[in-house]
Structure 1
Amino acid sequence: MLAVYAQSISRTDPLSGLVVGERPDPEPQQGWVEVELKAATLNHHDLWSLQGVGLPESRLPMILGCDAAGIGPDGQEVIAHSVIPSPGWSGDETLDPKRSLLSEVHQGTFSERFTVPAANLVPKPEGMSWETAASLPTAWLTAYRMLFTNSGVTPGGLVLVQGAGGGVATACIQLGAAAGLRVWVTGRDEAKMERAVELGAEAAFPSGERLPEKVDAVIETVGAATWSHSVNVLRPGGAIVIAGATSGDAPTKAELTKIFFRQLRVIGSTMGNRTELLRLAKLMQTAGIEPVIDSTYPLADARSAFERLESGENFGKVALTA
Structure 2
Amino acid sequence: MSESSRSSAVVVESFRPDDPGVGARLASVELHRPEPGWIPVTVEAASLNHHDVWSCRGVGLRESQLPMVLGTDATGTLEDGTPVIVHGVVTSPTWRGDETLDPTRSLLSERYPGTLAERVWVPEGNVVARPAGLSAHEAACLPTAYLTAYRLLFTAAGLRPGQSVLVQGAGGGVATACILLARAAGLRVLVTSRSESRAERARELGAHVVVESGARLPHLVDAVIETVGKATWSHSLRSLVPGGVVAVAGATTGPDADADLNRVFFKGLRVVGSTMGTRVELERLVSLLVATGVRPLVDRVVPLDGVPGSDGALAALAAGEVIGKVVVDVA
- TM bracket (short chain): over 0.9
Aligned position for 1:37:
43
What amino acid maps onto 1:187 in structure 2? S
For residues 264-313 of structure 1, the C-alpha deviation after alignment (integer angstroms, 9 at most, x for no partner) is: 10000111100010111111111111110000101121121112211212
- Report if the CA contact (8 A) 1:144-1:172 is conserved: yes
What is the total number of aligned residue pairs between the two structures?
321
Measure, in 2, the Cα distance between the counterparts of 1:29 and 1:278. 24
Aligned position for 2:267:
262
Measure, in 1, the Cα distance between the counterparts of 2:86 and 2:282. 10
| Unmatched tracts of structure 1, length 5 or more | none
| Unmatched tracts of structure 2, length 5 or more | 1-6
For residues 219-268 of structure 1, the C-alpha deviation after alignment (integer angstroms, 9 at most, x for no partner) is: 011111111111111111110000011111112x2211111111110000
1:87 partner SS: coil
1:132-143 mapped onto 2 (5 Å cutoff): 132-143=138-149
Aligned with residue 292 of structure 2, among 257, 275, 287? 287
Aligned with residue 307 of structure 1, among 307, 312, 315? 315
Instruction: State the identity %.
Output: 55
TM-align CA RMSD: 1.1
1:209-220 mapped onto 2 (5 Å cutoff): 209-220=215-226
What amino acid maps onto 1:212 in structure 2? P
Q: What is the CA distance between 1:14 and its match in structure 2?
A: 2.2
Measure, in 1, the Cα distance between the counterparts of 2:163 and 2:35. 46
- Report if the CA contact (8 A) 1:241-1:268 is conserved: yes
Aligned with residue 122 of structure 1, among 121, 128, 133? 128
1:52 partner SS: coil
Q: Would you say 1:147 and 2:153 are equivalent positions?
A: yes
Measure, in 2, the Cα distance between the counterparts of 1:160 and 1:143. 13
2:55 partner SS: helix
Q: Runs (4+) of structure 1 moved beyond 4 Å?
A: none
Measure, in 2, the Cα distance between the counterparts of 1:60 and 1:249. 28
Tell me the TM-score normalised to structure 1 length: 0.97
Aligned position for 2:206:
200
Q: What is the CA distance between 1:26 and its match in structure 2?
A: 3.7
Q: What is the CA distance between 1:59 and its match in structure 2?
A: 1.4
For residues 39-66 of structure 1, the C-alpha deviation after alignment (integer angstroms, 9 at most, x for no partner) is: 1111101111112221122211110000
What amino acid maps onto 2:198 in structure 1? K
Aligned position for 2:89:
83
What amino acid maps onto 2:204 in structure 1? E
Which stretch of the first structure deviates more once superposed, 231-240 or 49-58?
Answer: 49-58
Measure, in 1, the Cα distance between the counterparts of 2:19 and 2:323. 23
For residues 36-93 of structure 1, the C-alpha deviation after alignment (integer angstroms, 9 at most, x for no partner) is: 1111111101111112221122211110000000011221000000000013111111
- Report if the CA contact (8 A) 1:2-1:300 is conserved: no
Q: Would you say 1:5 and 2:11 are equivalent positions?
A: yes
What amino acid maps onto 1:263 in structure 2? G
What amino acid maps onto 2:306 in structure 1? D
Measure, in 1, the Cα distance between the counterparts of 2:300 and 2:51. 18
1:34-183 mapped onto 2 (5 Å cutoff): 34-183=40-189
Measure, in 1, the Cα distance between the counterparts of 2:188 and 2:273. 22
Q: What is the CA distance between 1:28 and its match in structure 2?
A: 5.0
Q: Would you say 1:318 and 2:326 are equivalent positions?
A: yes
Measure, in 1, the Cα distance between the counterparts of 2:37 and 2:193. 44
Measure, in 2, the Cα distance between the counterparts of 1:254 and 1:10. 33
Measure, in 2, the Cα distance between the counterparts of 1:20 and 1:247. 31
